[in-house]
């Protein structure tokens, strides 16, 4: 739900009383939303390998939380296509470090 809200509400917004439009069409908006969802589901597979082999799941969970927070916080200040891609990358990498690694740590507890 947050992905839908971010993608479609950030296309046109008001700044200083003037409408500031990115001129994103439905196709471009759908492509960015689908990339956010795809990267969010693909990143835990790739970044989980890094956590298992190099750094460790316990250390990457807080890093993932911070990256996701920065990405979603940055979404409020997005002003161009490239900055929207930066937000998508931050959220995807943060989710990749957080999602799979949290399951690994909880699996060790039980």
- Mean pLDDT taken over the chain: 77
Helix axes 2-9, 26-50, angle to 10 degrees: 130
pLDDT digit string, tens, across residues 11-57: 544 444 445 556 667 888 788 888 888 888 888 888 888 887 888 77
Q: Taking Cα atoms as reference points, which of 98, 68, 97 lies closest to residue 6?
A: 68
Two structure tokens written together for 50: 């890094």
Mark 40-52 as b/e (b = at least 16 C-beta within 10 Å): beebbeebbeebe
What pLDDT shows up at residue 18?
47
Strands 12-15 and 18-21: antiparallel
83: left (phi > 0), else alpha (psi -120 to 50), else beta? alpha
What pLDDT shows up at residue 78?
78
Rounded to two decimals, what is the model's pTM? 0.69
Q: Which residue has the higher pLDDT, 65 or 14?
A: 65
What pLDDT shows up at residue 12?
46
pLDDT digit string, tens, across residues 44-64: 888 888 887 888 778 888 998
């Amino acid at each position: 739900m947050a992905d839908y809200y971010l993608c479609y509400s950030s296309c046109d917004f008001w700044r200083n009383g003037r409408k500031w439009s990115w001129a994103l069409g439905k196709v471009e908006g759908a492509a960015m939303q689908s990339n956010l969802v795809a990267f969010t589901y693909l990143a835990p597979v790739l970044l989980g390998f890094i956590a298992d082999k190099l750094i460790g799941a316990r250390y990457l969970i807080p890093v993932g939380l911070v990256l996701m927070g920065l990405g979603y916080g940055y979404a409020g200040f997005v002003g161009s296509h490239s900055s929207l891609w930066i937000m998508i990358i931050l959220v995807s990498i943060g989710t990749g470090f957080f999602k799979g690694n949290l399951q690994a740590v909880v699996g060790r507890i039980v």
